[in-house]
Amino acid sequence: MKKTGYYVIGKWHCYGHKTTLHAAKLLAAVNKEYWGNYLGLQTPKIYAAEDCSEIESDEFNYHLGGCVEIVPKYGLDTPIAAFRDDSGKWITPNRDDYLGGK
């Protein structure tokens, strides 16, 4: 796992690592996910590499056991960049605002 740069992580899995924020935004834009509910297409979020960790999935996660996934560290799940699908703009969330003012 890389310790610098950015990871593009969606609801279902990690789409990859990029060294620049611009490249990560392009990767996220190409990999929009369809959530089978009223939300429709959602753009994956971008996380700093130092805020992510590797986990080995088991039968309770999204993949069959034995797969390694990149996920945000517990408690550090505020992305560096998130795409507002309603306004069509990238935002840099404030950690407190993104977590509901906690």
Going from N- to C-terminal start, the domains of the chain cover 6-97
What's the pLDDT tens digit per position in 71-100? 888 777 788 888 887 788 888 877 555 544
Mean pLDDT of the chain: 79
CB 3 within 8 A of CB 50: yes
Q: How confident is the model at residue 62 (pLDDT cuts 50, 70, 90)?
A: low
Query: What pLDDT shows up at residue 102?
Result: 42
* CB-neighbour burial class of residue 71 (10 A; exposed 0-12, middle 13-18, buried 19+): middle
